[in-house]
Amino acid sequence: MEILPEIRNRESPVVFGNMNVESEKIDALIEAARWAPSCFNNQSWNYVFVSKEADTREALEEALSRGNAWAKRAPYLVAVGADPEATCKTNGLPYYAYDVALSVMTLVIEAEHQGLRVHQMSGWNEEKVKEAVGFPENYRAVVVFALGYEGDPEEVWDELDERMRERVKRTRTRKASTENFFHTRFGQS
């Protein structure tokens, strides 16, 4: 079934290239992310874009888990945080994280449209991320993502360990829609 190519072809690469990301494209990503929906329009997301040249870059890289070392190649690492008190808690749910996710996903689709790639991560030390980018103490860091143009794995093949090589070669998969999409009642396909 045909759907938007930006959605179907999106992927989270582990090899980013060195190509510079044009500032107009960063502006487009920001514009896309700010138009995301959010609970009561609270827009609780806070993005910090950290380029390779930024003085916060080394500290943010150090916050990443060892398994996410691949992200250090990306031209940008972006930390997204929010004040958990600054948005609604309808049904006792932490909607600040939902707001952030909607905004990031909107940015991701625009990134694909601009020929860029995003790889989101939850593997990092929160205190180190907060300290690196200066989020206030009461904020939660919600996600860190790598951003840039996808690189050619052949060019860095020797630097990749076996796990990374497997990831480069993998085929993206999803559960069958009958497993988690239902009609009328849970469990009913």
3-state class (DSSP) for residue 120: strand
The helix or strand, by DSSP H or E, that contains position 159, with its residue range, turns out to be: none
Per the listing, tokens 């190519």 go with 5
> Judged by CB, which is closer to ligand FMN: 11, or 27?
11
121 binds ligand FMN (CB under 6 A): yes
123 binds ligand FMN (CB under 6 A): yes
Backbone angles phi, psi at 24, to 5 degrees: -65, -30
User: By CB under 6 A, which span of 17-25, 79-87, 121-129, 179-187 interacts with ligand FMN?
Assistant: 121-129
12 binds ligand FMN (CB under 6 A): yes
d(CA 150, CA 145): 14
d(CA 84, CA 132): 19
Nearest Cα to 7, choosing from 89, 118, 81? 118
Cβ at position 141, least distance to ligand FMN in Å? 12
172 binds ligand FMN (CB under 6 A): yes
36 binds ligand FMN (CB under 6 A): no
Cβ at position 34, least distance to ligand FMN in Å? 20
Please say whether the beta carbons of 65 and 10 come within 8 A: no
Binding mask 77-116 for ligand FMN (x = CB under 6 A): ----------------------------------------
Name the residue whose CB lies closest to ligand FMN. 123
Among 9, 18, 122, 189, binds ligand FMN (CB under 6 A): 122
Among 44, 68, 106, 114, binds ligand FMN (CB under 6 A): 68
DSSP letters along 66-106, please?
Answer: GGGGGGGGSSEEEEEEE-TTSS--GGG--HHHHHHHHHHHH
Contact residues: ligand FMN, CB under 6 A: 11-12, 68, 120-123, 143, 172
